[in-house]
């Protein structure tokens, strides 16, 4: 049977060795073209080309969270050794049968030594180096990343501790292929960065900001790591349970940063509303089914907005949603509060954000983030935001941050004139052309998405099989092949 469809983070470094066809793409359309016709009934049917890299991401549902008695929600699988042992043995059977180059697991029960030893023994015997990381505050579960040492070597490993209300963590690995790729200079080992994470579950809409900040901090650290180590342009792969669908703010934020969903590209799905519901990967504790598990790819030739700009745009989108609920049609009046002048002051702006719980709560924006938003909105820097600034957007930074507002002007109860939007487009094209001319081009090795599949297969049709018992998540596997591409010598 099937069912239809501002926190600070700490960084830890660990270099310990004990943890034990080539075409580039320029965008989503090119990836869809390349993927067309590449349909397989199983990833194992893909030719095991040693130059290919396969990724599996899987939330394996920690026994401390798995409910076993519908009549008593307090009884968990962790209370019965035979149950969790049997299920995790079957999970390992599936993973080893898939034998991906890289496995990223979430809700790994780090607090149980017997289970940890079982994974270490079986995956270690199969040739994997393991990296595990528990959530902070002794939550009991965490992450496990397994790298097959026959195909890949780990150059560096870092741990990110968000120390937020969800005690979430992330792993960053700098990986190099054992089999070098060929380019104009001869044999070159391919390098890439991979992140494994599990974002906070959105128990209510106010927690969307926490999840957005978690991703923002991940990308901030990836940028910092690349800059401090003076890395050449290389692919970035983000794997995990994102606890948000294709309609959410995190998805749109990552898309603005040049990331593509490997599963959607392989299956030629767009960002449209219709395609957002064609597949699922999770049935949550409320009984809802949705697609939340992703393997994201950002190739080194992808154009990317400045990270802070994308983040501000995403926060304004959340603000827009909250203002619609709080103020119905007159959002500008809500923002200016009791100010008699027809403008928004920093104080009234702050108070409005406080009322919609974007600041002043443990998981809200920090002071610097509030300042960043204000600086983006106060175009002329005179200390107030008048209505004309929302209507005309006369400078490029505010165009970039708030263009979505101009295109969906109901929130501001005004329409942006057509000639203004034309000016925006023209100005942005001029800026992009100038930047492109200034960028020095160089060759890099990226990835082409060869295939991606979900298991059990019913979830690919938006259905959840009632007889599926491995987890409350589906397993996602993607296969990438190396791709030469021209890209900028510098990345945003």
CATH code at 400? 1.10.238.10
10 Å Cβ neighbour count for 428? 14
DSSP secondary-structure letter at 51? T
Return the pLDDT at 202: 75
458 in the same domain as 353: no
333 in the same domain as 298: no
Question: Can you tell me the distance from the alpha carbon of 165 to that of 168, in angstroms, rounded to the nearest whole number?
Answer: 8
Domain span at 185: 2-305+441-488
Q: Which residue in 481, 475, 482, 483 sits closest to 99, CA to CA?
A: 475
- Are 359 and 365 in contact by the 8 Å Cβ rule? The answer is yes
Return the pLDDT at 151: 92
The residues near 315 (Cβ < 8 Å, ≥ 6 apart) are 209, 212, 358, 365, 369, 373
195 in the same domain as 52: yes
Provide the CATH number for the domain around residue 182: 3.60.10.10
Return the pLDDT at 335: 82
Q: How many domains does the chain have?
A: 2
Residue that the structure tokens 């942005």 belong to? 428
Return the pLDDT at 70: 79
pLDDT in tens, the chain (492 residues): 555 543 444 555 554 444 443 333 444 444 443 333 333 445 544 446 778 999 999 999 999 999 988 788 789 999 999 999 999 999 999 999 999 999 999 999 999 999 999 999 999 999 999 999 999 999 999 999 999 999 999 999 999 999 887 899 999 999 999 877 655 555 778 999 999 999 998 766 667 888 899 999 999 999 999 999 999 999 999 999 999 889 888 999 999 999 999 999 999 999 998 898 899 999 987 788 999 999 999 999 888 888 988 888 888 878 777 777 666 556 777 888 877 778 889 988 898 888 888 887 777 888 888 888 888 777 778 888 887 765 543 333 333 333 333 333 322 333 344 443 344 344 444 444 444 444 456 788 999 999 999 999 999 999 999 999 999 999 999 999 999 998 765 544
457 in the same domain as 477: yes
Residues in the chain: 492
- Are 466 and 201 in contact by the 8 Å Cβ rule? The answer is no
Return the pLDDT at 377: 77
Q: Can you state the percent helix, strand and coil of the chain, rounding each to 5?
A: 35, 25, 35
- Are 410 and 319 in contact by the 8 Å Cβ rule? The answer is no
Work out the burial of residue 332: count CB atoms within 10 Å of its CB; fewer than 13 is exposed, 13-18 middle, 19 or more buried. Answer: buried
Phi, psi of 346 (to 5 degrees): -60, -40
Return the pLDDT at 428: 43
Which of helix, strand or coil describes residue 83?
helix
Question: Can you tell me the distance from the alpha carbon of 446 to that of 303, in angstroms, rounded to the nearest whole number?
Answer: 14
183 in the same domain as 156: yes
DSSP secondary-structure letter at 473? B
Return the pLDDT at 486: 85
294 in the same domain as 415: no
| Maximum distance among all Cα pairs of the chain, rounded to whole angstroms | 72
DSSP secondary-structure letter at 67? B
84 in the same domain as 207: yes
- Are 60 and 66 in contact by the 8 Å Cβ rule? The answer is no
- Are 190 and 445 in contact by the 8 Å Cβ rule? The answer is yes
243 in the same domain as 154: yes
257 in the same domain as 160: yes
Residue that is last in its domain, among 399, 421, 437: 437
| β-pair partners for 131 | 145
- Computed from CA positions of residues 484, 485, 488, 492, in that sequence, does the dihedral angle turn out positive or negative? negative
- Are 358 and 364 in contact by the 8 Å Cβ rule? The answer is yes
177 in the same domain as 28: yes
Half-sphere exposure for 89 (CA within 13 Å, toward CB): 7
428 in the same domain as 467: no
182 in the same domain as 103: yes
């Amino acid at each position: 049977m099937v069912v239809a469809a501002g926190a600070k983070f700490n960084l830890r470094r660990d270099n310990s060795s004990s943890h034990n066809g080539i075409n580039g793409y320029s965008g989503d359309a090119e990836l869809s073209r390349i993927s067309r016709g590449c349909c397989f009934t199983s990833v194992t049917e893909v030719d095991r080309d040693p130059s290919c890299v396969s990724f599996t991401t899987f939330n394996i549902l920690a026994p401390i969270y798995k409910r076993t008695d519908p009549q008593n929600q307090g009884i968990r699988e962790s209370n019965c050794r035979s149950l969790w042992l049997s299920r995790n043995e079957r999970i390992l059977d599936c993973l080893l049968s898939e034998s991906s180059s890289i496995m990223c697991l979430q809700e790994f029960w780090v607090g149980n030594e017997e289970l940890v030893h079982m994974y270490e023994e079986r995956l270690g015997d199969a040739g994997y180096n393991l990296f595990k990381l528990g959530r902070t505050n002794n939550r009991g579960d965490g992450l496990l990343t397994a790298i097959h040492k026959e195909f890949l070597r780990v150059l560096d490993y870092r741990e990110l501790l968000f120390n937020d209300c969800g005690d979430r963590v992330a792993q960053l690995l700098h990986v190099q292929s054992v089999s070098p790729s060929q380019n104009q200079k001869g044999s070159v080992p391919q390098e890439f960065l991979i992140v494994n994470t599990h974002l906070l579950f959105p128990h209510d809409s106010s927690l969307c900001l926490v999840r957005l900040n978690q991703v923002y901090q991940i990308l901030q650290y990836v940028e910092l790591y690349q800059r401090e180590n003076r890395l050449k342009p290389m692919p970035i792969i983000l794997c995990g349970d994102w606890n948000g669908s294709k309609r959410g703010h995190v998805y749109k934020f990552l898309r603005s940063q040049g990331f593509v969903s490997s599963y959607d590209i392989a299956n030629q799905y767009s960002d449209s509303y219709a395609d957002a519901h064609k597949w699922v990967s999770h049935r949550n504790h409320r009984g809802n089914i949705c697609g939340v598990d992703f393997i994201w790819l950002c190739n080194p030739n992808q154009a990317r907005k400045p990270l802070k700009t994308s983040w501000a745009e995403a926060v304004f989108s959340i603000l827009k949603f909250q203002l619609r609920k709080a103020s119905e049609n007159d959002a500008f009046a809500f923002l200016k509060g009791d100010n008699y002048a027809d403008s928004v002051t920093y104080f009234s702006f702050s108070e409005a954000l406080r009322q919609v719980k974007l600041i002043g709560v443990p998981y809200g924006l920090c002071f610097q983030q509030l300042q960043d938003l204000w600086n983006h909105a106060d175009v002329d820097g005179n200390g107030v935001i008048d209505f004309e600034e929302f209507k005309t957007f006369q400078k490029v930074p505010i165009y970039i941050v708030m263009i979505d507002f101009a295109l969906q002007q109901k929130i501001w109860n005004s329409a942006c004139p057509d000639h203004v939007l034309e000016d925006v487009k023209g100005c942005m094209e001029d800026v992009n052309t100038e930047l492109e001319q200034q960028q020095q081009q160089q060759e890099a090795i990226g990835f082409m998405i060869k295939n991606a599949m979900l298991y059990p297969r019913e979830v690919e049709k938006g259905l959840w099989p009632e007889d599926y018992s491995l987890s409350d998540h589906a397993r996602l596997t993607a296969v990438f092949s190396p791709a030469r591409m021209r890209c900028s010598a510098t990345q945003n």
